Chains A and B, each alone.
Chain A
Amino acid sequence: MTDNEFDFRIQLILNKDKNGLREIYNAYGRLIYQQMLSVVKSPQDAEDLTSDFFLRLWETAGMYRQGSGHKRYLTVMARNMAIDFLRKRKHESYTLDDDEVFHEEQADSRLTDDEVIGGISFKQALDTLDPAEKEIINLRLGFELTFKEISKTLGKPLGTVTWKYRQAISKLKHTVKEGSIYG
């Protein structure tokens, strides 16, 4: 969905036409669910939050500024809701810790051949990613955000984002090398 197409759907919502929300839901519902899931981890909680997310979008459509980048708007809103949920309900925190900030010397050392796992499903491969990597993969491959947009969405340095993305891709390539993708 382009920004213009999204803007049109927002106008429908502002006119109380639920078709506008339904089309946004059809385009992004699964991705929003995945983003929620990558943070809260519980499928049921992620489903509840996805429902809350679209209710909130319905109520706050007037706050969206046209042309401001709808994907980032959606992902920031989803992320804040998921983090608030964790903080309030479970008293958990979710951050990319300081020690996860990118350092050049880490780039080639984090993944070794010893970590390669062959012949597993893609889902199992995804499970080897940490929550932050999953979120970045979802934003990059699912929402197709640029690294800069991901950096702004997560409030993390660009270097950290690209490093974690490369690390995640590398893990996926290695773990499924003899599995569903290449098998």
Chain B
Amino acid sequence: MARDIRDIKEIKDQYKQHIHDTAPDMDKLWNRIESEIDKKENVSAQQPNITYSRTNVKQANVKKSIFTAMTAAAAAIIIAVGAVQMSENLRTGKENSAADFDDINSRTNTSESIKIDPDEILNYSSLELSSTSTAAYKEDYTAYGDEYFVEKNVLEQTDCFADVTVLKADLTASGGNYTLRVNELYSKDGHDTQTGSFTVKSSTPYIMQENREYFIPLKKESGKYYLVFENAPQIEITLDGGAVFQNGWNSLDENSCSVNKEELGKNDFYYDRMRYCPQKDLTELIESWKNT
């Protein structure tokens, strides 16, 4: 035993020496990192503040609209390089919107909180989700856009969040076209009661499933909406008020556990880091966003 411990200590010392000897020029690498930081800081200092001038925005207390369920799982989404363009058929549908939203609240506003074992691993197929007939994504899809999901960066780029239901997922060899019904739009100063449908194009493997509900961050450029981050599953909302999300969403991580998806395609990168929360209060996420 003593010999084993001594051996391991010697190996450890040797390993640390090896790390030191085989490292790149650390001073040079630091200079590179520092230079990149300076560049980024200068850019962000020069960026003007974005103002939000949305019509038909209702000043609503976001806390009132607790979605406890957010998410998305993975699988799905769509949005891609492409861009989500709100089509002209976006129409006002206050009654529908209110009904949908009330429905979500009724699913999620339960007085008793459901605690979950953080070490538990659930199967995605065991979650309460609407039935869907969407085919699996095309395996030759290539993801574009930002490579690493960073919540802070995503929130900074987000102009609004949209709670959507996928009406149609039309998948082709070059990507997917999705028709989404907007259940709710959230701006920084409230939530928009406009609803309607719009189309989204995407070439990423993260397909949104028909008949499923998602909560997606969007950015607006030149009158068009784009998915803020394409290379990860979007937040999916389950029928019972839960949320499935990839673990880059730190704001959603509390009281969550891992989700396992039984069948994976070769591009289904994110399914080894999906989380599920049985009740998800979006307040913290929305507040984080509003404070960016």
Chain A residues in the interface with B (C-beta under 8 A):
16, 18, 21-22, 25-26, 29-31, 33-34, 43, 47, 50-52, 54-56, 58-60, 62-63, 65, 80-81, 83-85, 87-88, 91, 93, 122-123, 126, 137, 141-142, 155, 169, 172-173, 176, 180-181
Instruction: Report B22-44 CB contacts with A as 1/0, cut-off 8 Å.
Output: 11101001101110110011000
A interface majority secondary structure? helix
Q: When A88-B147, A122-B15, A173-B11 are in contact, do A30 and B20 touch as well, CB less than 8 Å?
A: yes
* Interface contact B34-A123, CB-CB below 8 Å: no
* Interface contact B11-A33, CB-CB below 8 Å: no
- Least distance between A66 CB and chain B CB atoms (Å): 13
Query: Across the interface, which residues of A come within 8 angstroms of B33, CB to CB?
Result: 21, 25, 51, 54-55
Nearest neighbor of A50 in chain B, beta-carbon distance: B29
Query: Across the interface, which residues of B come within 8 angstroms of A181, CB to CB?
Result: 7, 10-11, 14
Residue B269 CB within 8 A of the other chain: yes
Q: How far is the CA of A55 from the CA of B11 in the complex (A)?
A: 32
Please list 13 pairs of residues, one from A and one from B, whose beta carbons are closer than 8 Å in the complex, sorted by A's number: A21-B37, A22-B34, A34-B19, A51-B32, A51-B36, A52-B148, A62-B152, A84-B269, A87-B267, A122-B17, A137-B15, A142-B19, A155-B272
Nearest neighbor of B28 in chain A, beta-carbon distance: A47
Query: Across the interface, which residues of B come within 8 angstroms of A173, CB to CB?
Result: 7, 11
* Interface contact A30-B266, CB-CB below 8 Å: no
* Interface contact B11-A29, CB-CB below 8 Å: no
Residue B8 CB within 8 A of the other chain: yes
* Interface contact B11-A93, CB-CB below 8 Å: no
Chain B residues in the interface with A (C-beta under 8 A):
7-8, 10-12, 14-20, 22-24, 26, 29-30, 32-34, 36-37, 40-41, 143, 147-148, 150-153, 231, 250, 258, 266-267, 269, 272-273
- Least distance between B232 CB and chain A CB atoms (Å): 10
* Interface contact B273-A47, CB-CB below 8 Å: no
* Interface contact B150-A16, CB-CB below 8 Å: no
Q: How far is the CA of A51 from the CA of B32 in the complex (A)?
A: 7
- Least distance between A34 CB and chain B CB atoms (Å): 6
Query: Across the interface, which residues of B come within 8 angstroms of A137, CB to CB?
Result: 15
* Interface contact A56-B10, CB-CB below 8 Å: no
Nearest neighbor of B17 in chain A, beta-carbon distance: A122
Q: How far is the CA of A80 from the CA of B274 in the complex (A)?
A: 13
- Least distance between B34 CB and chain A CB atoms (Å): 6
Query: Across the interface, which residues of A come within 8 angstroms of B16, CB to CB?
Result: 141-142
Nearest neighbor of A33 in chain B, beta-carbon distance: B23
Which of B19, B24, B29, B250 makes the CB contact (< 8 A) with A63?
B250
Q: How far is the CA of A141 from the CA of B97 in the complex (A)?
A: 56
* Interface contact B19-A30, CB-CB below 8 Å: yes
Nearest neighbor of B251 in chain A, beta-carbon distance: A63
- Least distance between B25 CB and chain A CB atoms (Å): 9
Q: How far is the CA of A180 from the CA of B143 in the complex (A)?
A: 46
Query: Across the interface, which residues of A come within 8 angstroms of B272, CB to CB?
Result: 155
* Interface contact B148-A56, CB-CB below 8 Å: yes
Query: Across the interface, which residues of A come within 8 angstroms of B269, CB to CB?
Result: 83-84, 87-88
* Interface contact A30-B40, CB-CB below 8 Å: no
Query: Across the interface, which residues of B come within 8 angstroms of A142, CB to CB?
Result: 15-16, 19
